[in-house]
Structure 1
């Protein structure tokens, strides 16, 4: 028995130790729980404080804010409706713990983003679009406001500034003539011809090399990438945008997180666009924007990532958006045929059938110019005004606080569908942009629309886009009858003016239409001008050796080579 006593006492001590250990662990858990509850209470108290200080909005819940109520598709319509419900053109909506301000009215947008442009010139943190994609702060699009932003803006204006774009009218007009020529011969492929046109114009500007084939990789691959990138800016409660609400989800290793796998290693497109630029630098192509950038690179100590972004932005801002605008124009012609006869009368009177319109005709084509403006208003491509703004200091609107670095978004859809400014907003009506017409309404800027953004962050390529949209809309109105397609029984196939994609840069879902020349004389003119344009564009013929789909799979594609420091090769 004596020998067994120590064993019993030892067992007793172990049990007591276990109990003490368990008691201590319980205390630790209670302390941690108390700390968590306190932190949550403090955090939520601050959220509620901001909720009552900032513009009106739904009551946020702890941690998740209002994210749960986001619709899966077209959130801009939801914010428009929410603005009406709250009877406030500026509202606050919480994406997780971060308040976002949505501006749903032209006059408020002008007051904040235009008149206070110096305050609202920066960007907020964009985890998904900027950080996970690897773009970071090397790109003007999401760059914080400051000296480096000013350098990139200046360099961008070298390519597409207002003083530059008039120099591009020759080849822009030629490419527009070729687009009409191609559409005449393959009207069922009108979307592809519009994409080729838009991509070719920016390719000539950027690389001195046109895109002559509809299956060129700059069309078939790069536009698809740009459309995908645009989707990464639409607020959502599903992946990947939910990571803006819960940024800690991006901290997990990518090997075990399926929501991060689509991002790969991030920044892969950077090498591709730099390779395109480097290819031109070493070639005998026509003088172009890329060569100007390489010339300026030492002066501004440009890294390769920056050269790549300046080059890639030409496509992001000029190809997908311009072609989408022209597809919207085609949809409007099909859906609102009553708007066409007045345009035809004006064009026939000014131009006749033996030549297509030119920019010199613009002062004599007020209705056609109004038609173009209504295209930009009716279904704006950048439907939520592009990238968000962020104030560089605390600001106030009607007594409400807008804190520094808050995500501030202009809801272009709501702005352009405000019935006070645009009665019957879903009706396509060019007369809105004729000064003396009863349909015309006051607007806070001279253009009458806010398609290209605001303040110091207004789209750098606005002048190029407006110039190209006018000449292309005028030429297609002059050249073609654009109508609803008919089925085998001869019945018109209806079109849906609300069937649009869900990306930041929206475009119509595919639809059928009939495109035929308005007369035999006009058909002959389209043929003659198209062939002449191809002859004049021959100096820009060329083709890149790179394809985005194979660039990262081919060992000799030179990814590592192209991403060495600029100083090593410039």
Structure 2
């Protein structure tokens, strides 16, 4: 039951053939942007790699001498923008045409994760979700995120690194996951292995891989979503089914825990869900608005956690592999913060070198190297090139931030790129304000929250710890070669080992005294 008959299969093939014949007969008068030669019907489907697509597209653009590429995969047109100026021109100045979202088959159709507003089609529903976010996380309310960030770094990250320095990655994830849980749902979290944080880590890891352009072939050849579950190669459907159940469970359970606490009058930390629900409690359309808040909360939770984890782990990796830069940053922090306290946000404007380091972290390893793709809602013409309607558009953030003309020796970690005359330079493409968090109407609305957490984590770590290599069996420092995930939306560093040692001249025990025995934040 449910299997296609030979006649059905022949009819389906005939329809597909007619579709492609029609498509190819409607070629525009203007040329497409440069790209690789395309085979009939399949286009470039066999040429697009499944890993490190951002690197492939950058190298292809360099080889062809173009900043805008055109590809096709089984009739789906794809535009890749390797230049920030071109991205601004199209995704911002013509945002009305470029604010759609293509369906990512694995995520949208099979996992059914399109409840998150980052994946929603541009329109009224997307506006409702984004408005709820902006009402709570407006710049005038930034103090909420700043206070929570300091709390989780001091009560969670620093004590954990001090007491169990070998588990760096676990501690960063616990801190950032707890921060996201508190900010979104107001729920208390354990500083060690909180069950909700651990569950969320697994879910978000799965969705990041599912949404990656190259991990699953169905994201390149959408027609594969129709193959029966029993067919060879359809294991991705089983993975998606499990991920769908876990995603729904995470979104529902965390939200219901907050609602239950509100109904029972149990004290909660100020958070997005409680604040947003209280804002709409007297509205006639409370239930549909509450549903949107629940869905938006899942998006906020995922984005806040993943962005900060990736950037913080990249910062630690950079300090580990560049000890001279680490020492220079520590000297700057000491000159401002001194030796008898921990840094806070009042120090931020007085730490230009640390600011440059954070910018270089975001440039060196962009958190989302290909961004989240846009979709053209109408056809367009740019620089004499034809861009079709329904075209998937990737802003290749990696290529923009590794452009040799703007950033010489781009694979080198060099914070001095962003320093001029002893202060932060504004004469160069800024990863914090351009590219890293997207473009146009689809730009990440929570970038200021993420940047605050990254800053306070980096400043605090530099204040009390030295980051150094582990020793090998001969007692020599083990060499660490930076490597990053090959097939995921996010570019997290692959696991590496390092030592966190209290700095000489710092009374770490005294600085952390009131936080060392806190178990629940």
For the criterion TM > 0.5, the same-fold answer is yes
For residue 79 of structure 1, what is the aligned residue in structure 2? 57
Residue 188 of structure 1 pairs with residue 166 of structure 2: yes
For residue 205 of structure 1, what is the aligned residue in structure 2? 183
Alignment of 1:166-185 (within 5 A): 166-178=143-155, 179-185=157-163
For residues 398-419 of structure 1, the C-alpha deviation after alignment (integer angstroms, 9 at most, x for no partner) is: 1212222311011111111111
* C-alpha separation in 2, matches of 1:260 and 1:363: 49
For residue 249 of structure 1, what is the aligned residue in structure 2? 224
For residue 430 of structure 1, what is the aligned residue in structure 2? 415
* C-alpha separation in 2, matches of 1:486 and 1:38: 61
* C-alpha separation in 2, matches of 1:329 and 1:37: 49
Larger Rg over CA atoms: 1
For residues 195-244 of structure 1, the C-alpha deviation after alignment (integer angstroms, 9 at most, x for no partner) is: 111111111112212322332222322112212211123223x7xx3224
For residue 21 of structure 1, what is the aligned residue in structure 2? none
Residue 514 of structure 1 pairs with residue 499 of structure 2: yes
1:461 to 1:349, Cα distance in 2 relative to 1, 3 A? same
Contact 1:96 1:246 in 2 (8 A): yes
Residue 375 of structure 1 pairs with residue 354 of structure 2: no
* C-alpha separation in 1, matches of 2:228 and 2:433: 49
Residue 94 of structure 1 pairs with residue 72 of structure 2: yes
- Given the alignment, which residue of 295, 299, 304 partners 1:313? 299
* C-alpha separation in 1, matches of 2:455 and 2:504: 22
- Given the alignment, which residue of 447, 455, 470 partners 2:440? 455
1:312 to 1:422, Cα distance in 2 relative to 1, 3 A? same
Residue 164 of structure 1 pairs with residue 141 of structure 2: yes
Alignment of 1:290-309 (within 5 A): 290-295=273-278, 296=280, 299=285, 301-302=287-288, 306-309=292-295
- Given the alignment, which residue of 265, 271, 282 partners 1:288? 271
What RMSD in Å do the two structures reach over aligned CA positions?
Answer: 2.9
Normalised by the length of structure 1, the TM-score is: 0.81
For residue 395 of structure 2, what is the aligned residue in structure 1? 410
Structure 1 regions of 5+ residues with no counterpart? 1-27, 542-570
* C-alpha separation in 1, matches of 2:324 and 2:317: 13
Contact 1:97 1:245 in 2 (8 A): no
Q: Matched residue of 1:67: which SS? A: coil
Contact 1:44 1:63 in 2 (8 A): no
For residue 401 of structure 1, what is the aligned residue in structure 2? 386
Alignment of 1:230-249 (within 5 A): 230-236=208-214, 241-249=216-224
- Given the alignment, which residue of 405, 411, 414 partners 1:420? 405
Residue 135 of structure 1 pairs with residue 135 of structure 2: no
* C-alpha separation in 2, matches of 1:416 and 1:217: 37
Deviation at 1:161, TM superposition (A): 3.4
Contact 2:50 2:213 in 1 (8 A): no
* C-alpha separation in 1, matches of 2:29 and 2:274: 50
* C-alpha separation in 2, matches of 1:32 and 1:197: 55
Contact 1:391 1:406 in 2 (8 A): yes
For residue 4 of structure 2, what is the aligned residue in structure 1? none
- Given the alignment, which residue of 461, 469, 475 partners 2:460? 475
Structure 2 regions of 5+ residues with no counterpart? 1-6
Deviation at 1:375, TM superposition (A): 1.2
Q: Matched residue of 1:187: which SS? A: coil
For residues 7-55 of structure 1, the C-alpha deviation after alignment (integer angstroms, 9 at most, x for no partner) is: xxxxxxxxxxxxxxxxxxxxx9xx99997897377246348x3696221
- Given the alignment, which residue of 1, 4, 18 partners 1:39? 18
Q: Matched residue of 2:506: which SS? A: helix
Normalised by the length of structure 2, the TM-score is: 0.88
Contact 1:422 1:441 in 2 (8 A): no
1:455 to 1:37, Cα distance in 2 relative to 1, 3 A? closer
Q: Matched residue of 2:500: which SS? A: strand
Residue 279 of structure 1 pairs with residue 254 of structure 2: no
Deviation at 1:79, TM superposition (A): 0.6
Contact 1:110 1:444 in 2 (8 A): no
- Given the alignment, which residue of 319, 336, 349 partners 1:363? 349
1:117 to 1:529, Cα distance in 2 relative to 1, 3 A? farther
Alignment of 1:463-502 (within 5 A): 463-502=448-487
For residues 362-386 of structure 1, the C-alpha deviation after alignment (integer angstroms, 9 at most, x for no partner) is: 121111111111111111111111x
